[in-house]
């Protein structure tokens, strides 16, 4: 009687397992594999995009002075270029067709070699998942001040907090749009300005 009982349990278990095989069969079909690959690709892209750092771009009048300011005075750590900047990310947004003279505040013509592409310039870590990309291209301000212009208020507020925490001499000229002056150790005045649309 024992062999008959175990055969009955085996038959009963195989019919229960058979109830799950049709969905498993469709999952292993070509269409099921394609859907699984698309879902895996979507998850991978979501993880890549959410882990990519937010990048603020600051345009400066002198890249060497900016390097001394951000590395020396503000003590910002140098950051690696984000992965999406290796693949001409800015050009995919449609900014490749903008004439560099249109973006300049000075009427003097400049060669296109002075304008940087995606990964050139200076890269600094501002916060945990926030980076600052420093590029040349801003004009000098009044009284030959070094200018650093940015379109993002959050970036300038973070830089102002950094200036305050380092106990540097500064003066806020206006709060909206944010504009402040910082004096470096060589007595140069650096103007940081928010550009509004």
Q: What is the mean pLDDT of each run of 10 residues along the chain (197 residues)?
A: 53 53 68 88 85 86 92 91 61 47 47 47 90 89 87 92 92 92 89 86
C-alpha 187/C-alpha 183 separation (Å) is: 6
pLDDT for position 109: 45
Percent of residues in the chain assigned helix, strand, coil, to nearest 5: 45, 25, 30
Three-state secondary-structure class, residue 161: helix
Say if residues 173 and 179 touch (Cβ distance below 8 Å).
yes
Q: Which residues are CB-neighbours of 165 under 8 A, at least 6 positions away?
A: none
pLDDT for position 20: 57
- Prediction pTM value: 0.62
Strands (E), 72-176: 122-127, 130-136, 146-150, 169-175
**CA trace torsion 165, 170, 173, 177 (10° rounding):** -40
pLDDT for position 110: 44
Closest CA to 93 of 134, 129, 130, 55: 55
C-alpha 115/C-alpha 109 separation (Å) is: 12
Q: Say how far residue 9 (Cα) sits from the centre of its chain.
A: 60
Burial 88-125 (b: 16+ CB within 10 A, else e): ebbeeeeeeeeeeeeebeeeeeeeeeebbebeebbbbe
**Domains by residue range for the chain, with CATH:** 2-49 (no CATH), 53-96+113-194 (3.10.180)
Three-state secondary-structure class, residue 118: coil
C-alpha 146/C-alpha 64 separation (Å) is: 11
Q: Which residues are CB-neighbours of 98 under 8 A, at least 6 positions away?
A: none
Say if residues 156 and 115 touch (Cβ distance below 8 Å).
no
pLDDT for position 59: 93
pLDDT for position 16: 56
């Amino acid at each position: 009687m024992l062999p008959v009982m175990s055969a009955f349990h085996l038959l009963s278990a195989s019919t229960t397992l058979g109830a799950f095989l049709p969905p498993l069969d469709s999952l292993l079909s070509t269409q099921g594999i394609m859907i699984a690959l698309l879902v895996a690709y979507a998850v991978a892209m979501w993880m890549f995009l959410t882990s990519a750092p937010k990048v603020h771009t600051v345009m400066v009048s002198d890249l060497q002075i900016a390097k001394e300011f951000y590395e020396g005075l503000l003590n910002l750590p140098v950051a690696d270029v984000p992965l999406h900047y290796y693949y001409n990310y800015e050009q995919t947004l449609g900014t490749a067709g903008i004439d560099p003279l249109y973006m300049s505040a000075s009427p003097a013509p400049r060669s296109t070699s002075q304008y940087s592409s995606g990964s050139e310039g200076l890269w600094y870590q501002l916060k945990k998942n926030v980076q600052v990309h420093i590029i040349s291209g801003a004009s000098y301000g009044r009284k030959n001040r070094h200018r650093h212009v940015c379109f993002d208020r959050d970036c300038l507020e973070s830089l102002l907090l950094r200036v305050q925490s380092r106990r540097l001499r500064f003066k806020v000229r206006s709060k909206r749009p944010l504009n402040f002056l910082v004096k470096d150790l060589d007595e140069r005045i650096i103007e940081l300005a928010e550009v509004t649309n």
